[in-house]
Amino acid sequence: MAPPKKEVKPAQKAQAAKKAALKGTDGKKVKKVITNTHFFRPKTLRLARKPLYPRRSVPRKPQLDAFKVVQYPLNTESAMKKIEENNTLVFIVDVKSNKRQIKEAVKRLYDVDAARVNTLIRPDGLKKAYVRLAADVDALDVANKIGFI
């Protein structure tokens, strides 16, 4: 059985409340002993930004579209040899374009699937792309369709 509770008189209760109000209920604060020589700033709440207005009025258009990526086909002797023997088209492309962009641009412009794309930057600063076409597509037919043969 639990021990019987003592009755607390209202005067004693008031004294305890006065003492708590004057002294505070926290008691003594314990100082943390710092053992590290480096200070690490405490992590605090970081709220996401909520701008009141957009910082640019019109969103940017993509810099490189298909017409900017593929500039023109190359029809030198070595390029013609590639077309006939390796089923490969040779293009001069934008220097900033990558292989995926070149592959996508050739697909969009000429409706052909590229098997692989090899690139190099020529000594004059232009980028050359060798676009190997899929086996079911003939590079000679595509070159005729483009109109450079």
CB atoms within 10 A of CB 71: 15
Task: Write the burial class of residue 67 (CB in 10 Å: 0-12 exposed, 13-18 middle, 19+ buried).
Answer: exposed
Strand 70-73 relative to strand 88-93, pairing:
antiparallel
pLDDT at 89: 96
Spans in the chain with pLDDT lower than 50: none
pTM above 0.75, yes or no: no
pLDDT at 134: 95
* Residue carrying structure tokens 């207005």: 53
pLDDT at 27: 67
Of 104, 68, 90, which Cα lies nearest the Cα of 149? 90
- Give the rounded distance of the alpha carbon of 79 from its chain centre: 36
CB atoms within 10 A of CB 49: 4
pLDDT at 21: 84
pLDDT at 29: 75
Helix or strand run (H / E) with residue 109? helix 99-110
